[in-house]
Every structure is written in structure tokens, then in C-alpha cells.
Amino acid sequence: MSIYLGEFLGTMILMLFGSGVVASILLKESKAYDAGWLVVVLAWGLAVTLAIYAVGGISGAHINPAVTLGLAFVGDFEWYKVPGYIVAQVLGAAVGSSLVWIHYLPHWSKTADQGAKLAVFCTSPAIRSYPSNFISEMLGTTALTMSLSYIGANNFTEGLNPLVVGALIVAIGLGLGATTGFAINPARDFGPRLAHFLLPIAGKGGSDWAYSWVPVFGPILGGILGAVLYKCLFLNEFSIGYGIVIALCVVAVIIAIVKNKTSNE
């Protein structure tokens, strides 16, 4: 199997189980209807674990453009592979969420809430404030990529590493995910959002493209920041590029704080 097919299948598995649990909780007449946030977070953690077990030995199971770009930025992944990885991840996410649509086919027409249908595919904020939403996605993905780096620096019993990464996803979801739904993965949001736009989903409504840039660019910047912080803090490596990334993130945080303060006055 090629590394690109590995990324496609890994991301498809991620979305099959991840979108699947959201559908089971939000779509009417599902036996798991209204099961709650904890079930969603645990299922996403297990989805990541299973995806890593499936293709970790083939492609490294990035299953996330933010991870791929973060590793490439700090020199731990070859840049020439990046475009192929990202295309495979986006397509895999779109196909995985499309399979969920097929699996729950009778339930879409029973569900009147268009927002619930969209949430099966992609994320939306609890409180819509683009600068703050951007920071939430950035910080969540920073925690992801920095943690992946220091988890990878430890020696675990053979086969245990994917479970530890799954636990990391659960921790991020519980601690940082409730503001935006913790996309922390541009492919996980953009690919399924595109699928939502294209599929003949009964009574689906709009795909909320106005928000779509947040779960793409927030995670990208956060993914690079997490990789940079690991290099700086754990390995004592520094460069001008690293400083620019950190400065951009600080500016983004300041803008969000100022915007929030202004809107509350």
C-alpha cells in the first residue's frame, strides 16, 4: 500500500467513526439519540486510535494536514510529500463522512434541525466570534502537535502508542473542545463540509462556508506552533522562522482579546 493510500484510508476510518458517533447522537430516531458530549469525545479518541493502528506503519498516520505541515515546517517530514498527504487526507475525510450519510440514510428526513445535520459533517462554534474561534482551534491543535511530539519521544510497550494518542484526543476534547467542537484538523472539517455541500441530504440547509476558514487556518497555524514549541522548549532549537510563527500566534491572541473586549463594551 502506498503512503498516500494509507493517509486516505486512515482519514476515512477517522471520519467513519467520528462522524458516525455525531450522527448517532444528533439524528432523530437513532437509538443513541442525545447521548451527550462525553460519548462524542470518547468515540473520536477511539476513532483516532483505530486509524493509527490501521495505517501508522504505512504512512505514519498523520491523518491531519496540521500535523503534516507542522512536521514539515520543523524539518521532520519531507515537503515534497506534503501535497499528496493533504489531498489524500481531504478525500479520505470526505469519503468517510459520505459513508456515514449512507449508513444513516433513513434518519436525515426524520431530522428537522439543519444545524444538527451539518454538525454530523463539520464543526461550528458554540458562540460565533471568529477571532476567538480561531484561537480555540489554534490552541487545541497546538496542544495536539506538541503532545504528539513528546509522546513520540517516550518508549511505550509495543502497540500502546495509538491508545495514548487516543487518550490525548479525549483530553483535548474534554478540556478544549466545547467552544468550537475541536476540529483541530483541516481535512476533518473541509472534506466533510464539501461532502455536505455536494450530497443530496434531505432538508440539509447551507454548509456555513462563512465559518469554514476557521477550522482550516486555525489548526494549520496551531499545528505549526505546536511543532515549533516542542523544538524550542524540549530540544533547545531556535530559528528566525520559529520566532515568526510564535509572533503571529501572539498577534492572533491579542486580536481575539481586543475583539472580545470591544464586543462586551
Q: Give 169-218 pLDDT, tens digit per residue.
A: 999 999 999 999 999 999 999 999 999 999 999 999 999 999 999 999 99
pLDDT band at 235 (very low <50, low <70, confident <90, very high): very high
pLDDT at 241 over 70: yes
The pLDDT value recorded for residue 28 is 96
Amino acid at 142: T
Residue 42, helix vs strand vs coil? helix
d(CA 111, CA 106): 10
pLDDT at 248 over 80: yes
pLDDT tens for each residue of 12-61:
999 999 999 999 999 999 999 999 999 999 999 999 999 999 999 999 99
C-alpha cell read off for 14? 477517522
Q: pTM here? A: 0.95
Is residue 129 packed enough to be buried (19+ CB in 10 Å), middle (13-18) or exposed (0-12)? middle
Cβ neighbours for 29, distance < 8 A, ≥ 6 positions apart: 106, 107, 110
pLDDT at 153 over 80: no
Amino acid at 129: S
Cβ pair 114, 205 in contact under 8 A:
yes
Amino acid at 116: A
Other residues' Cβ atoms within 10 Å of the Cβ of residue 41? 21
Cβ neighbours for 31, distance < 8 A, ≥ 6 positions apart: 24
